[in-house]
Amino acid sequence: MPSIKAVDLAAHPLTAWQGPLGLPDFTRIGDGDFSPVFDAALEAHEAEIEAIAGNKDTPTIENTLAALELGGEALDRVSSIFWCRVGAYTNDTIQALERDISPKMSRHFSAISMNERLFARIDDLYQRRESLKLDAETLRVLEKTWKGFVRSGAKLDADGKKRLAKISEELSSLGTSFGQNVLADESDWALFLNEADLVGLPDFLKSSMAEAAEMRGQKGRYAVTLSRSIYEPFSTFSERRDLREIAFRAFTMRGQNGGATDNTSVVRDMLKLRAEKAKLLGYGSFAALKLDETMAKTPKAVHALLDPVWEKALEKAAADQTDLQRLATAAGSNEKFAAWDWRFYQEKLRAEKFAFDEAELKPYLQLDRVIDACFDVATRLFGITFEEKKGIAAWHPDARVFVVKNADGSERGLFLADYFARPSKRSGAWMSALQSGYRLGHGSKPVIYNIMNFAKPPAGEPALLSVDEAKTLFHEFGHALHGMLTDVTWPSVAGTSVSRDFVELPSQLYEHWLTVPAVLEKHALHVKTGKPMPKALLDKMLAARTFGAGFATVEFTASALIDMAYHARPDAPEAPLRFEAETLGKLDMPDTIAMRHRTPHFGHVFSGDGYSAGYYSYMWSEVLDADAFAAFEETGDPFNPALAERLRKNIYAAGGSKDPEELYTAFRGKMPSPEAMMAKRGLV
């Protein structure tokens, strides 16, 4: 392995991006390249930090704050490629590197945040901020930077700093273990079936299961996997109750199967360390620490949103279960209604109430046409266009590359998308960036990517999506737009660098345009006939938008309440899974509905720090998105130009350059109440 000195960061393909369109040249990047380049990039960044901290000149915005923001470019570049690979295309080598690099990165950034000379310079600027005559964005960046140092232990004594750094390092390693354990359970499990086991399954699902089986060396058979794109439709359509139960139990027990991949002790240790971290920093709980920089501010405010929704959702779910039990009895079932029955009979209830089922919609939701719909809406709202560039190598052959252009034809940035599930990819869907867009220094154009886990069809067949999958695509593309439309000076407030309970607004709001009739009429074309979705079917689909709200709201809100219950305590529960069960019992959680994310595989909360004490934020943002789309509905035009421009300027382009309440009020004129969200969900 080459020494650090042998790595030329100015020329290495991981840090000097010289591929087509200014992308990394992925054809020249091997798994063995990451470790030496990381070491060299960390050393280079340490030298940059030392130069800033050791500067004898009076601190200025340019020589301290801007230098800090622009430092570490090589580290940013190798990191962005590596973490993309970790999530989207991992292997044993990458996972071993992840276990090594995660604590190394934690130590590096802890050292920066606890560097006394560096903080002294930031603190000097912060204390003089009123006299520096800063523009609003720069002032906000300075204040956020100062608070970030303080929340990372800059004001602790030497022992406190040492302990906090150790806690952060341990949490980083545990988060890595958590995510790798879940991926192992997901990729190792498959239920292989034969033709006789497929009763009730539509053709699109059979094709996806055949492809999944072939990928796992079982050509000619069919595989149920733990990818939602297969698990959920299988649970919805399979007439085989015994197989639905097997799949349900495997899905809900990810991360809790004993042995090397069991996350029980990982969660226990993470919760203990988080509680200790909060106490060390002077907070009453980890939730209080995490919520300090959000719109919600306190656990009490979170519960003020979640608790009334929970009560309404329980009522709705109970009423729905009565209907589902009726259908099960009518079908001759003598078994006690169970969680693996819900999706199956809910689909039959949908057919009874609205005279259609999900299988009727799928032929109209081709992946490529839904992608076109995403792009079309962005063009109509914001004037940007997308041009696919074929034959450009990315991290995996499935990843696609698009050039994003402004209305005047100038290049805005790049968008990459990787849509299909595979064993080397963690489950779920997400947006991230290889490079953020900002104006500071020489500036930078955004290079944004989306990752999905849709079932891959056999070669030559089009991929078909469910309505929920189409919404997921719109959702993640909404995040991507937040990154691509960013129009700020400072990197640390670019794109999605906003408070956790504001970041879901651009994504959840964008979902609304999927079901705008004009969008569906243009893009929901039958896979075989090319004809638009019949108006009767479209009307039924739109009428059924709130169908199943009880189930969907209970499974989501249960996860959000458990997250808050873990983290709003001053201490950690000794037995987290027992605590989960006891808390759900106190909440009167129906045993016929599972949490959307049970603790042992709750990646949002435990695979890193992202949504810990923050899973509620999807619903917090939903209050905003329901009200925001209502603004368009009130004009009678879902593409109202004046409103779209306000939306672009204040929500999608502004990043974290202003307080989120200020940004939302600039768009809408006022802050919303939860009623519109409750109505949108069909709970009132």
| Type and span of the H or E element at 268 | helix 264-280
Cα gap 579→310, rounded to integer Å: 19
Cα gap 96→484, rounded to integer Å: 32
Structure tokens given for 316? 């709705």
Helix then strand then coil, in percent of the chain rounded to 5, is: 60, 5, 35
**Range from 2-6, 205-209, 257-261, 437-441 carrying the lowest mean pLDDT:** 2-6
SS3 464: strand
* Banded pLDDT at 4 (limits 50, 70, 90): very low
pLDDT tens digit sequence for 391-405: 999 999 999 999 999
pLDDT at residue 610, rounded to an integer? 87
* Banded pLDDT at 356 (limits 50, 70, 90): confident
Burial of 410 (0-12, 13-18, 19+ CB in 10 A): exposed
Burial of 467 (0-12, 13-18, 19+ CB in 10 A): middle
φ, ψ dihedrals at 461, nearest 5°: -100, 145
CA angle (567 as vertex; 566, 572 as ends), nearest 5: 65
pLDDT at residue 563, rounded to an integer? 98
Q: What percent of the chain has pLDDT over 90?
A: 97
Answer left, alpha or beta for residue 192, where phi above 0 means left and psi between -120 and 50 means alpha: beta
Cα gap 317→557, rounded to integer Å: 12
pLDDT tens digit sequence for 114-140: 999 999 999 999 999 999 999 999 999
With a CB cutoff of 8 Å and minimum separation 6, the contacts of 209 are: 193, 198, 201, 222, 223, 224, 230, 234, 455
With a CB cutoff of 8 Å and minimum separation 6, the contacts of 359 are: 202, 204, 237
Q: At residue 145, what is the residue type?
A: T
pLDDT at residue 358, rounded to an integer? 85
Structure tokens given for 640? 């109202």
Residues taking part in catalysis: 476
pLDDT tens digit sequence for 6-43: 799 999 999 999 999 999 999 999 999 999 999 999 99
Cα gap 224→222, rounded to integer Å: 7
With a CB cutoff of 8 Å and minimum separation 6, the contacts of 371 are: 417, 473
Report the b/e string of 612-646 with b at 16+ CB within 10 A: bbbbbbbbbbbbbbbbbbebbeeeeebbbeebbeb
DSSP secondary structure string, 405-462? E-TTS-EEEEEEEEEE--TTS-SS-EEEEEE--B-STT-B--EEEEEEEEPPPPTTSP
pLDDT at residue 143, rounded to an integer? 98
328 and 525 Cβ atoms separated by less than 8 Å = no
Per the prediction, the chain carries an average pLDDT of 96
Whether the per-residue pLDDT at 679 is higher than 80: the answer is yes
pLDDT tens digit sequence for 502-533: 999 999 999 999 999 999 999 999 999 999 99
A 10 A CB-CB count for 608 gives 17
Cα gap 98→181, rounded to integer Å: 13
pLDDT at residue 676, rounded to an integer? 87
Cα gap 382→377, rounded to integer Å: 8
389 and 403 Cβ atoms separated by less than 8 Å = yes
Whether the per-residue pLDDT at 326 is higher than 50: the answer is yes
Position of tokens 């996806």?
A: 208
Cα gap 108→46, rounded to integer Å: 8
Provide mean pLDDT across the span 269-287: 98
pLDDT tens digit sequence for 219-232: 999 999 999 999 99
* Banded pLDDT at 601 (limits 50, 70, 90): very high
pLDDT tens digit sequence for 67-124: 999 999 999 999 999 999 999 999 999 999 999 999 999 999 999 999 999 999 999 9
Provide mean pLDDT across the span 373-378: 98
Choose among 122, 25, 131: nearest CA to 434: 25
Provide mean pLDDT across the span 406-424: 97
pLDDT at residue 7, rounded to an integer? 94
Whether the per-residue pLDDT at 3 is higher than 70: the answer is no
Position of tokens 């010289």?
A: 18
Report the chain's C-alpha Rg in angstroms. Answer: 25
